[in-house]
Amino acid sequence: MSISDLIIMLVGGFCAGFLNSLAGFGSIITLAIFMDILGLPGHVANATNRVNVLSSSIVSSATYYKNGKLDLVKGKKYIFIVAAGAIVGILLAADLNDTEFKSLFNYLLIPIFFIILINPKRFISPDMSTDKMSNWVVFPLFFIFGLYAGLIQVGFGVLFLMVMVMMLKYDLIESNAIKVATVGIYTVIAILIFHYNGLINWKFGLLMAVGQGFGGFVAAKYSSTMENANRYAYYLLVAIVLAVIIKNFEIWKIFIS
Would you say the pTM of this structure is higher than 0.85? no
Whole-angstrom distance, CA of residue 89 vs CA of residue 83? 10
Q: What is the pLDDT of residues 59-92, one digit of tens each?
A: 888 888 888 888 888 888 999 999 999 999 999 9
- Give the separation between CA 23 and CA 135, rounded to whole angstroms: 24
8 A C-beta contact, residue 49 and residue 251: no
Q: What is the pLDDT along the chain (257 residues), one digit of tens a residue?
A: 788 888 889 988 888 887 777 666 778 788 888 988 899 999 999 999 999 889 888 888 888 888 888 888 888 899 999 999 999 999 999 998 888 887 877 787 777 777 667 655 555 565 666 677 788 889 999 999 999 999 988 778 878 888 888 788 887 778 888 988 999 999 999 999 999 999 999 999 999 999 888 887 887 777 656 666 656 666 776 777 777 778 777 777 777 75
- For 45, phi then psi, to 5°, come to -60, -40
